[in-house]
Structure 1
Amino acid sequence: MIRPTIAITMGDPAGIGPEIIMKALAHAEVQALCRPLVVGDAGRLRQAGEIVGSRVPVDALTEVGEADFDTGAVQCIDLKVVPADLPFGQVSPVGGEAAYQFIAKAVELVQAGEAGGICTAPLSKEALHAAGHKFPGHTEMLAHLTGTPEVSMMLVSPKLRVIHVTTHIGLIDAIAKIEPGLVERVIARGHAVLVKAGIANPKIGVCAINPHAGESGLFGHGEEAEKITPAVEACRARGWDVRGPLPADTLFFLAGRGDYDMVVAMYHDQGHGPIKVLGLEAGVNITVGLPVIRTSVDHGTAFDIAGKGVADERSLMEALRQAVDLAPKAAPAST
C-alpha cells in the first residue's frame, strides 16, 4: 500500500504542537503509516526535540520534492516565521500569524496534489485574532481558504462519533441558527463520511435541543418539532436509518454502548462534553465537507504545560491514523 503524504501543521509555536509532533514522529508505527510532512518551522521543531529528549533530526525543506521519507528524520517545509527567542506558553500575534501561515501553506500543498490530507496541531484563537485573522478556529479558517460555504465538525473517539450542527457560537445564537435545512445537511455530511468509512447503512441518532426532547411541549417552545423533526423525516425519506430528536443524555449513553454509529449534536458543548469525558488522548477532530481531508487533535494549545516536555502525543497519532484512512490512496502528484 502506498503511504499517503499527510501535511502536519505545527499549530501555535508557543503551544504544545511542536512537542507532540516530535514525540509522535519518533514512533516507527507513524512512519510506517504515512509520509508525515510537517508544515512549520524547523528551528522550533529542533527546540521541541531537545525539550522532549528526542534524537530524531529535522530536515528543513523549501519544497515537497526535497523530502526523503525513508531517512527517519522529520521532514519539515520550513516557513522560517518563528523567532528563536519566542517563549513557550504565551499568547502572541507572532504565534497566531505563524499558525495561520502553516495552515495556508498546507492547503496549498493539498490543492496542488503534493499531500493527501492535513492533520493539524492546536492553535490559539486569541493569538490568531491578535494577528488579525478573525476566525473562530481551524474549521472556519479552512472553509475560507478552500472557498467552502459550509462545513461540519465531527469528533471521533474509539466509542463515539459526534457531528455538530453548530459549533463556535453562543448558545442563544446556536438555537436561533438551527433550522431543518441546516440539520439535514449536517446529517447528510456525516452519513457520507460513515459510508466512505465502510458502514453501509449507518444508524444515526439526532439530539434534541431541550431536556427530555421537550417532553411534548413541557420544556422549551416547540424547537424540536419546528427545527429538527422535519430534517429527520427528510433523511428517513432517503432511506437512511436516522432517529430523533432524542434526549441527549439517553442518546449518548446508547451510542457509547454501540447502539448508534453517530450522534448529531445541536451545539458545541452538547457534543464536546461526552467525547472529552472519554479522554482527550483518544479524541480526533475531523472537518467534514471540505474538498481536502483535515483531521486534528481534540485538545488545545495547553500553554500551561508548553515547553515542559510532558504533553501527550496520542491524540495526534490517532488524528494521523484517521487522516490516512480518509486520504486518497493514489500517490501525490509530486512523487
Structure 2
Amino acid sequence: MARPLALTLGEPAGIGPDIALAAWLRRSELKLPAFYLAGDRDFLERRAALLGFDVKLKDVRAEDAVATFPDALPVVATGHAAMAQPGQPDSSSADAAIGSIRHAVCDVIAGRAAAVVTNPIAKSVLYGAGFRHPGHTEFLAELAARDGKTPQPVMLLWSPALAAVPVTIHLSLRDAIAQLSGQLIVSTARIVVADLQRRFGIARPRLAISGLNPHAGEYGSLGIEEQTIIAPALETLRGDGFDVRGPLSADTMFHEAARRTYDCAICMVHDQALIPVKTLAFDDAVNVTLGLTFIRTSPDHGTAFDIAGTGRANPSSLIAALRLAARMAATAQMA
C-alpha cells in the first residue's frame, strides 16, 4: 500500500491497545497492510510491557508509517497522553480516545492515510466527559461534514458469511419504530448500493429488505408498517432501478440458502441485523460506516474491560477490519 491505515487507540483502559499490539506482532505471518496507531507511545510501551509483548514502537509522521511498519509499530502522536490502567478508565481516557479519532480522520481527509480503522470506545466514559453523540458512527459523520452538511452515516456489519445494515441504529426499540420512515429506508438503501459499487466492487448489488413485524406483518394482521412504510419505499427503489426484494420475514432471511440470494440484508432495527451477523461471525465480523467521505472500519466488539491487559483479547476482528479497510481503499482507487 502507498498509504498506511490510520488505527485509533480506542478506550485506553479497554482491549484496543492490546489487540493493536497483538495484530502488529502477526504482521508478517498474516501479511497485514501497513498501519499506524494514533496515540501515545509511552502509554503503549507500558501496555506492551504489561502484556509481555516484544513490540518495538517508533514515533513517526503518517507519511513515514509504511516504511517503518515492517520493523516497528508506527505511532503518530496526537498530543493526548493516556494514563488509564487496564479495566480502569480515568480522567485521561476520553481526551485520549477522542483525540485519536480526530487525528486519524484528519490524516485520511488530508490524504496522508488510506482509511480509518477504529478501536472500541466506551460511550459511558465519553458521556461523562460531555460527549454528545450516540456513538462512533454519528461522531464520524460530524467529522465528515463539508459545507455545513453532515452526511447520513449507515452502519454495515460485514463478514464473509453475511453483510447486514440496520436502518435505525442506536435507538430504543420504541424510538426506532417511531422514527422508521419510507424516506429513511430509501436513503439508506441508496447509500448502501453506492458504497457496495464503489468500495466493494459489486456492479449491481442485490438487497434483501426485512419487514418490521413478526412474519413481515402477516398481511396486516401483525402490524401494518410493511404495507404503509416499507412496501412503498421498495417501489421507489425499484423505480430507481435497484435490485430489491421484500418486505421479508426476518426469521427466514438468514439461513444459508437465503443468504446466497443477496449481497446485503437491510433490516429495520438494530438487533435484526446485528444478531445474525454476530451469531454467524462473532470473531471476524467488521463494523463499516457507509456514506462518509472516507473509509472507516472497526472491530465488531466492545472494550472488554474485564480482560484488558491480560493477553486474552482476540485480535481476529481487528485483523479483519484492517484487511477490509485495505481492500475497500484499493477497490475505491481502481473505480
Return the TM-score normalized by structure 2: 0.92
Distance 2:257 2:119 in 1: 28
Aligned to 1:53: 52
Q: CA deviation at 1:66?
A: 4.7
> Shift in Å at residue 53 of structure 1?
2.9
Amino acid at match of 1:160: L
**Inter-partner Cα distance in structure 2 for 1:255 and 1:38:** 40
Aligned residues: 327
What's the CA shift for 1:235?
1.3
Partner of 2:329: 327
Q: Secondary structure of the equivalent of 1:8?
A: strand
Q: Distance in 1 between matches of 2:50 and 2:166?
A: 36
Distance (Å, rounded) in 2 between the aligned partners of 1:150 and 1:83: 32
Question: Do the aligned partners of 1:160 and 1:255 also contact (CA within 8 Å) in 2?
Answer: no
Q: Secondary structure at the match of 2:191?
A: helix
Checking the alignment, whether the CA contact within 8 Å between 2:108 and 2:114 is kept in structure 1 is yes
CA distance in 2, matches of 1:6, 1:100: 18
Find 1:253's aligned residue among 252, 255, 261. Answer: 255
* Large movers: runs of 4+ above 6 Å: none
Structure 2: give runs of 5+ residues left out of the alignment: none
What SS is found at the alignment partner of 1:260? coil
SS at match of 2:55: coil
Partner of 1:144 in structure 2? 142
Structure 1 partner of 2:11 = 12
Deviations 1:60-82 (A, max 9, x none): 23x32454435420001123533
Structure 1 residue ranges without an equivalent (≥5): none
Give the superposition deviation at 1:101.
Answer: 0.7
Residue by residue over 1:144-166, the C-alpha shift from the partner in whole angstroms, topping out at 9 and shown as x without a partner, is 11212311000011100001211
Equivalence for 2:96: 98
Equivalent in the alignment of 1:34:
33
Q: 1:97: how far off?
A: 2.0
Measured in 1, the distance between the counterparts of 2:35 and 2:18 equals: 15
Give, in whole Å, the separation in 1 of the partners of 2:215 and 2:8: 41
- Contact map agreement 2:7 2:116 (CA 8 A) in 1: yes
Alignment equivalent of 1:157, drawn from 145, 156, 159: 159
Q: Which residue of 2 aligns with 1:198?
A: 201
Report the Cα distance in structure 1 between the residues aligned to 2:24 and 2:107, rounded to whole angstroms: 20
Distance 1:28 1:289, change over 3 A: same
SS of the residue corresponding to residue 219 of structure 2 reads: coil
User: Is the aligned partner of 1:276 residue 2:274?
Assistant: no
Deviating more after overlay: 233-242 vs 205-214: 233-242
Find the aligned partners of 1:254 and 1:179 in 2 and give their Cα distance.
Answer: 29
Cα distance in 2, alignment partners of residues 326 and 236 from structure 1 = 27
Shift of residue 57 of structure 1?
A: 0.3
Which residue pairs with 1:124 in the alignment?
122
Residues 22-31 or 126-135, more deviating: 22-31
Q: What's the offset of the Cα at 1:95?
A: 1.1
**Partner Cα distance (2:257, 2:124) in 1:** 34
Secondary structure at 1:304 match in 2: helix
* Partner AA of 2:212 in structure 1: I
Letter matched to residue 34 of structure 2: R
Query: Following TM superposition, by how much is the alpha carbon of 1:54 offset from its aligned partner in structure 2, in angstroms?
Result: 2.1
- 8 Å contact kept, 1:42–1:80: no
Structure 1 range deviating more: 128-137 or 91-100: 91-100
Q: CA deviation at 1:216?
A: 0.8
Secondary structure at 1:327 match in 2: helix
Q: Which residue of 2 aligns with 1:301?
A: 303
SS of residue in 1 equivalent to 2:74: strand
CA distance in 2, matches of 1:240, 1:29: 41
How far the C-alpha of 1:246 sits from its partner, in A, is 0.6
Change in CA separation of 1:70 and 1:210 when aligned onto 2, cut-off 3 Å? closer
Identity rate, percent: 40
Asked whether the equivalents of residues 155 and 166 of structure 2 are also in contact (C-alpha less than 8 Å), the reply is yes
| Map of 2:221 onto structure 1 | 218
Q: Is the 8 A contact 1:41 1:78 kept in 2?
A: yes
